[in-house]
Amino acid sequence: MRLRDKIALITGGNSGIGLATAERFVEEGARVAITGRDQKTLDAAVTKLGPNALAIQADLTEDGAAERAVAATIERFGALDILFLNAGIAGNTPVGATSRAQFEQVLATNLTAVFFTVQAAAPHLKEGGSIILNGSVHQVLGIPGASAYAASKGGIGAMNRVLASEFAPRGIRVNNVVPGATRTPIWRTFAATPEELEKLEAVYSRGIPLGHLGEAVDIANAVLFLASDEARHVTGTEIVVDGGTIGAP
Ligand code: NDP
């Protein structure tokens, strides 16, 4: 029980990496609030997670949504120890095909909303707490067709180190988990058909020495470590979970 009696808020906890992390957290004794925009998948997730989970419907790009999510977590569970900033969207268009609205939506979701959720949670996080950001190998790999996404995740990597310094005096650690290609619903947005998706995964796998994409639970296990007291002297760093990815496809 590595998270016994801990209280966590996981953004995007109704799907993929966020849901896998919520499951691991509950298994390890935590009570977990999860956010998402889609009520149906939120309901399904809470049914799966059981009585120690709370669903909060919120679009975190909207003003006040983060404050509402934090307040609902505190109201139900009474405190906040762990914050996993996981919610994100892909952006898979080359420069010439990316509209201003698309660029701004990716930045608003993957970077701005993360900053303001941290800001909303900050006054409530307890000493010994842990903030975990969710970056991407796009931070460093020049994978074509994803400049907005890469910019948003690069911002996460830079923000990680500053937040770690700012929160350290309060005994709160901040780290960034950096997934490589991971088999989650976000992948469905990359291809029009299941056959195309299979081909795309095969192409990506060629750049992964371990030979295959990660699973959501692979990322969740790294987040669990960063959230737990086992990582009590770990802050301002990144854990890359990417099967050894050596390059863009
Ligand atoms: P999913 O699409 O399964 O999860 C994305 C989550 O973000 C969903 O729960 C979604 O919920 C939520 N979300 C999206 N937009 C908003 C919003 N405006 N407000 C609130 N919640 C929102 O994909 P993953 O699990 O793969 O992605 C999770 C994170 O992991 C993302 O930050 C992604 O960039 C990162 N990542 C993923 C990789 C991969 O290969 N899968 C690789 C590297 C990083 P809802 O739709 O209900 O709002």
Pocket around ligand 1: residues whose beta carbon is below 6 Å from it? 11-12, 14-18, 35-38, 41, 58-61, 86-89, 109, 134, 136, 179, 181-182, 184-186
Told to judge if 149 belongs to the known catalytic residues of this protein, a careful annotator would answer yes
Residue-level pLDDT at 164: 98
Residue 109 carries which DSSP code?
I
Q: Rg for the chain (alpha carbons), in Å?
A: 17
Shortest-distance atom of ligand 1 to CA 42: 47
Looking at this predicted complex, what is its ipTM?
Answer: 0.99
Residue-level pLDDT at 89: 97
Residue-level pLDDT at 217: 98
Among 246, 156, 162, residue whose Cα is nearest residue 208: 246
Which one is catalytic: 25, 103, 116, 149? 149
Residue 108 carries which DSSP code?
I
Atom 34 of ligand 1 has which residue's CA nearest to it? Answer: 88
Q: Ligand 1 pocket: which of 19, 37, 68 to mutate (most atoms <8 Å of CB)?
A: 37
pLDDT tens over the chain, length 249 residues? 999 999 999 999 999 999 999 999 999 999 999 999 999 999 999 999 999 999 999 999 999 999 999 999 999 999 999 999 999 999 888 999 999 999 999 999 999 999 999 999 999 999 999 999 999 999 988 888 899 999 999 999 999 999 999 999 999 999 999 999 999 999 888 888 999 999 989 999 999 999 999 999 999 999 999 999 999 999 999 999 999 999 876
Strand ranges inside the chain, DSSP E: 7-10, 31-36, 53-57, 80-85, 125-134, 173-179, 182-183, 214-215, 238-241
